[in-house]
Amino acid sequence: MLKQNNLFRGVTLLLLVLLSGCSQSDGYSTSEVASKEEPIVIHGYTLPPEPDPVINNSTLLGIDSNNNGVRDDVEIWILKKYKDKHPIYTEIAMQAGRAWQKVLEDPSKARETTKLMEAAQFCSFYFEFDAIKYGDTLLIDESIVTNRMFEKTVTNTQERKDAYWEYDRLLSGGVYVLPKKSQEKSYCDFNVTKFTKMK
């Protein structure tokens, strides 16, 4: 009887150890679990967590968890859209994202905030059309700032659309001057030097 009890305890202990090991791993190795927690970095930007759409869309400005001036859902869209493009696409799009956020923040300041939108556009023009005339490389081949999907992503609620339409209405009838092509690069709000050396 004593031998049977010891055998029973031994088998029970072995089963507990095996079950404990299974429940801890849940079929994943330690390295797999660790890799799931590593942040995704695209062109130097850490991808923010996907925001809860209900919370994000319940306010005009939404969620900007890393406080970089670009709403998280917009930043995610930018980083994913341009991840396989030259890094300058991301920089120009992030500049435009910051401008859009200022536009929505206070449409009544349209005459001020339009300068931010224009700056992103002029920067984009330089690297799409004019850089080669001034010894730089044409690095982009598509519209970034005036991309319709960009606008749709930013103005994805009625409140945001209304804010944009108010901004647009207040710009009506204004006179806007284009800079000299040689000055367009100066409108980029990021360090362009590292990009002009990249192909």
* pLDDT tens-digit profile, the chain (199 residues): 545 555 445 545 444 444 444 444 444 444 444 456 789 999 999 999 999 999 999 999 999 999 999 999 999 999 999 999 999 999 999 999 999 999 999 999 999 999 999 999 999 999 999 999 999 999 999 999 999 999 999 999 999 999 999 999 999 988 889 999 999 999 999 999 988 766 5
Question: What is the rounded distance in angstroms from the CA atom of residue 99 to the CA atom of residue 42?
Answer: 21
How buried is residue 92: exposed, middle or buried, by Cβ count under 10 Å (0-12/13-18/19+)? buried
pLDDT of residue 15: 44
Question: What is the rounded distance in angstroms from the CA atom of residue 154 to the CA atom of residue 136?
Answer: 31
The pTM of the full predicted model, rounded to 2 decimals, is 0.80
Contact between 134 and 182 (Cβ < 8 Å)? yes
Contact between 63 and 51 (Cβ < 8 Å)? yes
Beta pairing partners, 75: none
CA distances from 165 to 76, 93, 110, 148, 160 (A): 24, 21, 11, 15, 9
Task: Determine the length of the chain.
Answer: 199
Give the angle subtended at the CA of 170 by the CAs of 169 and 172, to the nearest 5°: 65
